[in-house]
């Protein structure tokens, strides 16, 4: 038992939510997370989230694919199993381009998706903490992490800020029993 | 973001987010209707017939088909290319239209992606059964083996195809499924029974909708879209290489790659239209797949149909221009030879009839669009038949000229794949939302009819033009400039 | 919006462009008068520049039409610049007309299919002598085709020695390639009763192509293409300017839509045909169905690069503050994406021809690989690798410096692409890129910029009443 608790406010509209996030941050409160039913454009910027580096991972995976394909075909065609096809040279780069391209895309796509799933801790059988069942449908949640030591004042402040910024419902839940 | 009032809304009925969830997930939660059960049973039986015929082919060999010494590729490869082509629309809608910021894609992309995957499955079937000894199909992959150093031929377009199609299938599945995850989470959270919750939780990978997850989600979709765009081009390009690298008159022509791609998009869109027109009716999704969506798709049909038309005419012209008698004869034979009906069928269905969509009224007619979409699919099947059978049945040596006729086995395998495709699509439509729920919600504020179009009730936010320091309030700026 | 969008075409700019043109003319004159530049090289360069710049202008019309039909909103702030570029279509077109008309008035060295002599089986001895004298005079005949016919793999000594040597020195030696066709036996020059002899230069293929490749039809097509483009460019511009004075309804928008649709239909056909006519028929035996689309994409990329450069220039002068990084980012994405698409087309055309290995087709690339090696491979490096590696990053597409550099590089790159398409068929191995080529380029660039700047100064730099203007102003990624 860590005594970890979550205070969260539910919002009905993403524009109210965005303004709320801005105001809450200006007031110096640390937002733990914002949960939304769909990707809200620009929310990450307002929350001050770091830009994701996922696409760089994609580039690295892609290049791995390119090199794998080229070196493998080069080795097969010129060293391990050189066969004369239609009088073309063993090293026939133009006819290797298609497979090289496909493997680049394949490696990048698989690598990136797995990285994405890993970073987000998404996998079959994961037991997520669902704060409210409406969050994936039509409600937007702004959450604050607190614990047993958090003072009542602090809690009250969070509640007031949420209310003042348009939260329609405010709840407090134990993290461990979720 | 400001949206011009002359833009047509893409979501009708003044929807709220909650209503959107109800409307789109509703069909998934409802008990299967009798009609659905009947449809699945029927399509399943058709698929079964097809698989029986495949069983016959495997048992007795390729001799069950109408192939002969001259025509080694016919109905099977025609079907293969036809299905692969249909399998291009999903990725096009999700990837290319995402990059081009076409908002209407959100209404149809999910189903189109599912359709893509099922179509590629049908397509992949044909080259495999065409091998005859299907139990040796794994030979096509380069794998270390004990037969001495023996590797597959990396210079062969057929091997490129193996890589292209397996990559395309994999990436399409990834693209489709990563997009589906948040929507499955919505289904999970709305589920009434614990069992249903559990099942959907497994399939939605435990999604919660955290801002950081969405940020990565958007990055992933954008990069996957960026990767899929050249990929979708490469797949049909490589399919076209199967023909164009050869020296068969009518096959060896440099326009094949882009022309095949345009044709694939053309037929894919037609298939998406055929399915979506039925889906929107049955699932009552007319407010999400509106006439604006249909009109936009019909515009893509005109565009790709015209590209294909230009390519046909280019081919025809250049065959004459080449002054090469074999090239010339290939086209004379196409248009006036024994298979003339397939050539003119192709021209009518693919080039002439889509031009009717220049008429706005027809572009917005559901019934007309439905018939047209079927028409185009028939036309695109003819196109592949023309390219494949007509080119090979009469080539350089007249003594080898012959005719090809399909047998009942081939015909039923083809019909069977359509049944298989429909079965898979019906199953998909029952277990997962057919519209990309999260993505449609994301465009509500810019494309909902309460915000844009003539029935708008909400005033748009104009913060978008804040940076214009000297903008006049009435929007009537710039009058002091006198155009000359 | 304030005066910041009333563009003033300053005297200094005018002077700069005029100097560019004058310097260009002087360079060309020096080349011609000093005798170091052949007539063929002059015409080939004129063709190159006029096709290149007219193509840029015509692709700008396409840009407007395609965005209109695609209901794009983001590009409205860029639109006036694109419109101004379109107006060069007519002027560039006039230069094309000069060249095209040349085929009818006896200048056959550029488009040698236009020479009637080659398609006549029976000619007089005098005509043969005249033809041989013409080609013995140091002319680099575009087609080596005449040679191929009576070569058939072995070198015969005959009366065309002059021509042959000329070919061997200056042009790709096509006798290595055996054509599948043969023509009449050239050793028999027995005069028939009416004084006609068998034409040793008779080209059966060109004879077959005559219904399409003949000067009157060629000229007619050019008039139709250029006339239609110029007319629609004029129409679109006029509607756009009228909108500024209008009452803010969407009437002009609908009109633009109508003409855009018409243009796209016309462009679908003419974009390919212009490439066949003006570029592909320089090698009249060679054909590739993809050629038209390949040319179009090459020109379109250039057109977008020119737009980017103009936008950045105007911004640096304090105009069009409304165009921000987001709009340039979009153009950058286009340039990036279509550079890859260009590579795809290049590869498709090259690979299919390389793979099938049919001599009639491979000769095209073989000649370019041998005689234009650095330019041929440079083409791929500049037009594919550079944009691919540089413009892949988001920051790069949002940086004005990087965009400027890439736009300049790609304009040079696609100019080179056209150089490699046009020169081998016209001047053969005897190619140069020196003061003469630069001069010709400068002349056209000066004329092009003068036209564009003049057009820019005629109206507001922003289409102030376009219904999508606000969308464009608020556009962000």
**Cβ contact C39:C107 at 8 Å:** no
CB C282, CB C142: distance < 8 Å: yes
Position C6 in a domain: no
pLDDT digits (tens, 9 = 90+) for B393-438: 998 888 999 999 999 999 999 999 999 999 999 999 999 999 999 9
- Interface with chain C: mutation pick from A94, A97, A100, highest number of C CBs within 10 Å: A94
List phi, psi (to 5°) of C442: -60, -40
The domain total for chain C is 2
The chain C residue lying nearest A95, using CA atoms, is: C351
Instruction: Domain ranges for chain A, please list them.
Output: 5-50+129-177, 54-119
B224 and A122 in contact by Cβ < 8 A?
Answer: no
Q: Is the Cβ pair C205, B464 closer than 8 Å?
A: no
A interface test, pick of B220, B439, B441 with most A CB neighbours within 10 Å:
B220
Q: What is the pLDDT of residue C56?
A: 96
pLDDT at C170 over 90: no
Residue of B nearest to C476 (CA): B1
What is the secondary structure of B245-263 as a DSSP string?
A: TS--TTT--TTHHHHHHHH
Confidence band of C127 (pLDDT split at 50, 70, 90): confident
Asked if C263 and C218 sit in the same domain, the reply is yes
B124-133, C248-257, C316-325: which has the highest mean pLDDT? B124-133
Same domain? C101 vs C176 = no
C51 plus C191 within the same structural domain: no
Confidence check: pLDDT of C17 > 90: yes
Chains that touch A (3 or more CB pairs under 8 A): B, C
Last residue of a domain, one of C181, C208, C235: C208
Q: Cβ contact (<8 Å) for C289 and B255?
A: yes
Read off the pLDDT of residues B239-269 as tens digits, 9 standing for 90 and up.
Answer: 999 999 999 999 999 999 999 999 999 999 9
Confidence at residue A126, expressed as pLDDT on a 0 to 100 scale? 87
Counting as low any pLDDT under 50, the low residues of chain B are 462-484
The bridge status of strand C122-124 relative to strand C196-198 is antiparallel
Contact A143, A35 (CB under 8 A): yes
Task: Count Cβ atoms below 10 Å from residue A71 Cβ, excluding itself.
Answer: 10
Residue C279 shares a structural domain with residue C362: yes
- Sign of the dihedral defined by the CA atoms of residues C243, C247, C253, C254, in that order: negative
**Mean pLDDT confidence for C218-238:** 95
Give A107→chain C minimum CA distance, Å. Answer: 18
Residues B6, C464: C-beta atoms closer than 8 Å: no
Instruction: Classify residue B460: in a domain, yes or no.
Output: no
**Interface predicted TM-score (ipTM) of this complex, two decimals:** 0.94
What is residue B314's three-state secondary structure?
Answer: helix
Q: How far is CA C221 from CA A51, C56, C98, C271, in A?
A: 54, 19, 14, 12
> How far is Cα of residue C75 from the mean position of the Cα atoms in its chain?
25
Interface of C with A (CB under 8 A): 347, 350-351, 354-355, 357, 392
Question: Of the candidates C347, C357, C392, which has its C-beta nearest A97's C-beta?
Answer: C347
| Domain's final residue, options C208, C227, C251 | C208
Instruction: Write down the pLDDT at residue C182.
Output: 43
Say if the Cβ atoms of B207 and A113 lie within 8 Å.
Answer: no
Q: Are residues A94 and C357, on separate chains, in Cβ contact within 8 Å?
A: no
Predicted confidence at residue C137, as pLDDT, reads 55
* Closest-CA residue to C357 (of C207, C222, C177, C216): C177
Number of domains in chain B: 1
Which of C209, C358, C471 lies nearest to residue B3, judging by beta carbons?
C471
Contact B476/C248, CB-based, under 8 Å? yes
pLDDT, residue B460, reads: 56
Position C295 in a domain: yes
pLDDT over 90 at A85, yes or no:
no
Residue the block writes with tokens 């020169």? C423
C149 and C265 belong to one structural domain = no
Residues C158 and C238 in one domain: no
Q: Cβ–Cβ contacts within 10 Å for residue B17, how many?
A: 21
SS3 label, residue C242: helix
Which residues from chain C sit within 8 angstroms of residue A51, using beta carbons? none
Task: For residue range A124-151, list pLDDT tens digits in order.
Answer: 988 888 888 899 999 999 999 888 788 8
Find the angle CA(C85)-CA(C87)-CA(C93) to the nearest 5 degrees.
110
Q: Which domain range does residue C383 map to? A: 11-110+210-473
Q: What is the DSSP letter of B3?
A: -
Res C410 pLDDT > 60: yes
**CB contact (8 A) between residue A37 and residue B17:** yes
For B75, B155, B163, B165, B235, the CA distances from B138, given in Å and listed in that order, are 23, 18, 13, 14, 20
Q: How far apart are CA C417 and CA C411, in angstroms?
A: 10
- The answer on C244 and C263 residing in a single domain is yes
CB B396 within 8 A of CB B366: no
List pLDDT tens digits, range C102-122: 888 888 888 989 988 888 888
Identify whether B6 is part of a domain. Answer: no
Domain of B438? 17-134+167-452
Residue A42 region by backbone torsions, left for phi larger than 0, else alpha for psi between -120 and 50, else beta: left
In residues, how long is chain B?
Answer: 484
Whose CA is closest to C403, among C338, C450, C336? C336
Is residue B464 one of the residues assigned to a domain? no
Q: Are residues C200 and C249 in the same domain?
A: no
- Sign of dihedral through CA atoms C154, C157, C163, C166? positive
| Gap between the Cα atoms of B473 and B459, Å rounded | 15
In DSSP terms, which residues pair with C197 in a beta bridge?
A: C123
pLDDT of residue C196 exceeding 50, the answer is yes
| Contact yes or no for A80/B151 (Cβ under 8 A) | yes
Residues 227-246 of C with CB under 8 A from B: 241-242, 244-245
Q: What is the pTM of this model?
A: 0.90
Cα separation, C411 vs C56, whole angstroms: 10
Identify whether the C-beta of residue C150 lies closer than 8 Å to the C-beta of residue C189.
Answer: no
Do C371 and C431 contact (CB within 8 A), yes or no?
yes
Is residue B210 a contact partner of residue B462, using CB atoms and an 8 Å limit? no
Last residue of a domain, one of C156, C186, C208: C208
Take residue C260 and report the two structure tokens written for it.
Answer: 């855009």
Looking at the domain assignment, is residue B196 inside a domain?
Answer: yes
Alpha carbon B181 to its chain's center: 21
Q: Is the Cβ pair A49, B218 closer than 8 Å?
A: no
Q: Assess whether pLDDT exceeds 90 at residue C61.
A: yes
Q: Provide the CA A165 distance to its chain's centre, in angstroms.
A: 26
pLDDT value for A86:
84
Secondary structure class of C13 (helix, strand, coil): helix
> Residue C338: is its pLDDT beyond 60?
yes
**CATH number for the segment(s) A5-50+129-177:** 3.30.70
CB C402 within 8 A of CB C425: no
* Alpha-carbon span C119 to C103, nearest angstrom: 15
Among the ranges given (B64-68, C130-134, C153-157, C450-454), the one the predictor scored with the smallest mean pLDDT? C153-157
C194 and C176 co-located in one domain: yes
Report helix, strand or coil for C460. Answer: strand
Contact B483 C288 (CB under 8 A): no
Nearest beta carbon to residue A102 from set B20, B164, B228: B164
Q: What is the pLDDT confidence band of residue C178, given thresholds at 50, 70 and 90?
A: very low
Whether residue C100 contacts residue C92, with contact meaning beta carbons closer than 8 Å, is answered with no
Domain check: are C194 and C70 in the same one?
no
Number of residues assigned to chain C: 477
DSSP string, C345-362: HHHHHHHHHHHH--HHHH
């Amino acid at each position: 038992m860590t005594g970890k608790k979550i205070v969260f406010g539910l919002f009905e509209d993403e524009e109210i939510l965005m303004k709320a996030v801005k105001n809450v941050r200006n007031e110096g409160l640390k937002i733990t997370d914002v949960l939304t039913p769909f990707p809200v454009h620009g929310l990450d910027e307002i929350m001050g989230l770091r830009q994701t580096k996922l696409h760089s991972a994609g580039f690295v995976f892609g290049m791995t694919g390119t090199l794998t394909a080229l070196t493998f075909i080069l080795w097969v065609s010129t060293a391990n199993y050189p066969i004369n096809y239609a009088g073309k040279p063993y090293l026939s780069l133009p006819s290797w381009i298609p497979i090289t391209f496909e493997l680049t895309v394949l490696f990048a796509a698989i690598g990136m998706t797995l990285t994405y799933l890993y970073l987000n801790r998404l996998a079959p059988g994961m037991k997520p903490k669902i704060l409210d069942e409406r969050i994936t449908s039509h409600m937007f949640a702004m959450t604050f992490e607190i614990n047993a030591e958090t003072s009542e004042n602090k809690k009250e402040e969070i509640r007031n800020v949420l209310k003042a910024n348009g939260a329609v419902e405010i709840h407090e839940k134990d993290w461990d029993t979720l | 973001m400001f949206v011009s009032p002359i833009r047509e809304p893409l979501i009708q009925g003044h929807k709220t987010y909650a209503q959107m969830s109800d409307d789109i997930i509703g069909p998934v939660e409802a008990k299967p209707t009798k009609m659905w059960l009947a449809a699945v049973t029927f399509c399943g039986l058709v698929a079964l017939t097809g698989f029986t015929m495949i069983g016959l082919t495997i048992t007795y060999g390729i001799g069950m088909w109408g192939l002969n010494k001259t025509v080694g590729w016919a109905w099977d490869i025609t079907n293969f290319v036809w299905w692969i082509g249909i399998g291009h629309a999903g990725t096009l809608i999700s990837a290319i239209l995402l990059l081009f910021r076409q908002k209407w894609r959100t209404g149809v992309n999910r189903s189109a992606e599912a359709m893509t995957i099922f179509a590629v499955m049908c397509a992949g079937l044909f080259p495999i059964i065409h091998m005859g000894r299907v139990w040796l199909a794994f030979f096509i992959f380069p794998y270390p083996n004990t037969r001495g150093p023996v590797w597959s031929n990396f210079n062969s377009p057929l091997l490129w195809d193996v890589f292209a199609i397996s990559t395309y299938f994999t990436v399409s599945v990834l693209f489709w499924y990563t997009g589906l995850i948040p929507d499955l989470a919505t289904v999970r959270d709305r589920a009434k029974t614990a069992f249903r919750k559990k099942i959907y939780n497994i399939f939605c990978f435990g999604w919660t909708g955290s801002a950081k997850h969405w940020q990565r989600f958007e990055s992933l979709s954008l990069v996957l879209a960026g990767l899929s765009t050249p990929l979708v081009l490469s797949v049909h390009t490589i399919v076209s290489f199967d023909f164009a690298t050869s020296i068969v008159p009518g096959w060896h022509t440099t326009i094949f790659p882009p022309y095949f791609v345009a044709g694939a998009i053309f037929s894919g869109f037609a298939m998406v239209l055929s399915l979506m027109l039925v889906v929107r009716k049955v699932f009552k999704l007319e407010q999400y797949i509106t006439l604006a969506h249909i009109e936009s798709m019909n515009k893509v049909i005109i565009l790709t149909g015209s590209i294909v038309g230009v390519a046909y005419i280019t081919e025809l012209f250049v065959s004459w221009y080449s002054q090469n008698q074999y090239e010339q004869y290939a086209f004379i034979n196409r248009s006036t030879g024994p298979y003339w009906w397939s050539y003119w069928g192709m021209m009518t269905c693919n080039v002439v009839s889509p031009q009717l969509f220049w008429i706005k009224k027809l572009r917005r007619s559901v019934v007309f669009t439905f018939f047209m979409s079927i028409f185009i699919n028939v036309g695109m099947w003819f196109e592949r038949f023309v390219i494949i059978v007509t080119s090979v049945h009469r080539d350089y040596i007249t003594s080898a000229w012959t005719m090809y006729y399909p047998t009942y086995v081939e015909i039923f395998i083809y019909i069977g794949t359509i049944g298989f495709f429909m079965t898979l699509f019906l199953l998909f439509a029952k277990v997962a939302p057919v519209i990309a729920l999260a993505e449609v919600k994301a465009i509500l504020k810019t494309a909902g009819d309460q915000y844009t179009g003539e029935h708008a009730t909400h005033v748009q936010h104009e913060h978008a033009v804040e940076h214009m320091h000297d903008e006049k309030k009435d929007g009537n700026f710039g009058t002091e400039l006198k155009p000359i | 919006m304030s005066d910041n969008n009333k563009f003033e075409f300053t005297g200094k700019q005018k002077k700069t462009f005029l100097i560019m043109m004058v310097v260009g003319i002087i360079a060309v004159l020096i080349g011609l008068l000093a005798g170091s530049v052949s007539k063929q090289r002059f015409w080939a360069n004129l063709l190159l520049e006029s096709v290149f710049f007219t193509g840029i202008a015509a692709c700008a019309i396409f840009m407007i039409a395609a965005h209109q039909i695609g209901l794009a909103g983001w590009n409205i702030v860029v639109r006036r610049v694109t419109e101004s570029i379109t107006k060069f279509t007519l002027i560039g077109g006039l230069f094309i007309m000069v060249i095209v008309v040349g085929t009818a008035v006896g200048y056959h060295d550029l488009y040698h299919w236009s020479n009637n002599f080659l398609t006549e089986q029976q000619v007089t001895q005098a005509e043969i002598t005249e033809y041989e004298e013409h080609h013995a005079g140091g002319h680099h005949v575009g087609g080596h085709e005449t040679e191929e016919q009576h070569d058939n793999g072995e070198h015969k000594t005959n009366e065309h020695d002059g021509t042959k040597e000329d070919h061997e020195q200056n042009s790709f030696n096509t006798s290595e390639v055996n054509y599948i066709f043969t023509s009449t036996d050239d050793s028999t020059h027995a005069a028939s009763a009416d004084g006609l002899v068998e034409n040793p230069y008779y080209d059966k293929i060109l004879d077959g192509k005559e219904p399409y490749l003949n000067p009157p039809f060629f000229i007619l097509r050019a008039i139709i293409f250029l006339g239609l483009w110029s007319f629609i460019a004029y129409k679109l511009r006029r509607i756009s300017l009228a909108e500024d004075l209008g009452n803010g309804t969407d009437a002009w928008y609908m009109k633009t839509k109508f003409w855009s649709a018409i243009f796209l239909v016309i462009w679908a056909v003419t974009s390919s045909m212009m490439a066949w006519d003006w570029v592909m028929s320089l090698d009249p035996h060679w054909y590739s169905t993809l050629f038209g689309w390949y040319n179009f994409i090459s020109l379109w990329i250039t057109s977008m690069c020119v737009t980017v450069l103009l936008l950045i220039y105007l911004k640096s002068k304090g105009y069009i503050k409304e165009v921000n990084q987001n709009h340039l980012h979009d153009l950058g994405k286009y340039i990036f994406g279509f550079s890859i698409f260009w590579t795809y087309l290049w590869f498709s055309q090259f690979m299919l021809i390389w793979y099938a290995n049919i001599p009639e087709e491979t000769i095209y690339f073989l000649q370019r690989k041998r005689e234009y090696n650095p330019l041929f491979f440079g083409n791929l490096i500049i037009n594919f690798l550079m944009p691919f590696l540089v413009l892949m990053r988001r920051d790069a597409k949002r940086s004005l410096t990087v965009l400027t550099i890439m736009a300049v590089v790609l304009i040079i790159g696609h100019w080179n692409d056209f150089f490699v398409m046009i020169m081998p068929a016209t001047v053969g191995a005897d190619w140069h890129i020196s003061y003469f080529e630069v001069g010709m380029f400068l002349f056209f660039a000066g004329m092009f910029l003068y036209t564009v700047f003049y057009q820019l100064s005629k109206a507001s730099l922003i289409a102030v009443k376009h219904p999508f203007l606000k969308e464009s102003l608020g556009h962000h990624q």
